[in-house]
Chain A
Amino acid sequence: MDPQTVERQIELPAPPGTVWQALTRGEELSAWFGARVELDPRPGGTATFRFSDGRQRDARVEVFDPQRQLLLRWLPFERRVDGATAVPAGHMRFVLEPRGDHTLLAVTETLFSEERVMTSAGPRRGHRYD
């Protein structure tokens, strides 16, 4: 296991279709994520997470494979009332697997982007945040 990665797995009492909606619809995400979430559910779409302590983080939908996999890449800054702070551009990955009429959900959160790790090894395709 990478030291900069947190992994969790859970069996959810709903089929992948239902879980997928809970992961990709802003109002559903807001009900369990611990933040007010707006998400444009498509590849390249943006997501905004507003936390109750006033912080706001933005992410980009990097992988959108319905009912199978979702990857949200954090943008490298965090907004606060008093301005923005640079933060590492890690990601959250959700992988869904059907288990009868249930779903096995695996979540991985990494602290920083692979690009950053790869920097020392040379250039690699970058992600554009436009």
Chain B
Amino acid sequence: MTDKPVDAVFSALSDPTRRSVMRLLSEGDANATEIAEQLPISRQAVTKHLSALSEAGLVTAERDGREKRYHFTPAPFRDAMSWMADVGAGWDSRLNALQNLLQDRT
């Protein structure tokens, strides 16, 4: 587990461009210029998205000469998925209980 709150992860992923950035990074490390070349947005916009992803712990940066090189770190993403699985399982069990409760009355 990581200490990044899952809502920060979902918030970071709520933007389609950020999801594209993450997908690119999941295929290999890259710097902002390289990412911008593959997306219809400016390098400056890419940098903004990278900082949101970095805040959520989804990417880490390493200095590489004049540019930072970004690396995809999927752990917070897995935590977020596990939140969804937990909440989903919670509802499955609650709704099952509700169904039984109503069934018993009829």
Chain A residues close to B by CB (< 8 Å): 2-4, 6, 8, 10, 12-14, 18-19, 22, 28, 31-34, 88, 105, 107, 109, 111-112, 116-117
Contact = CB atoms under 8 A, between A and B. Distances in A.
Contact of A4 (B7, B92, B95): B7
A14 B106 CA distance: 8
Interface residues of B, number: 26
A8 B91 contact: yes
B103 interface: yes
Contacts of B94: 32-34
Main secondary structure of the interface of B (DSSP, over half): helix
A14 B11 contact: no
Interface of B: 5-7, 10-11, 13-14, 80, 83-84, 87-88, 90-95, 97-99, 101-103, 105-106
A3 B92 CA distance: 18
A22 B88 contact: no
Main secondary structure of the interface of A (DSSP, over half): mixed
Given A8-B88, A8-B92, A109-B91, A2 B99 contact: no
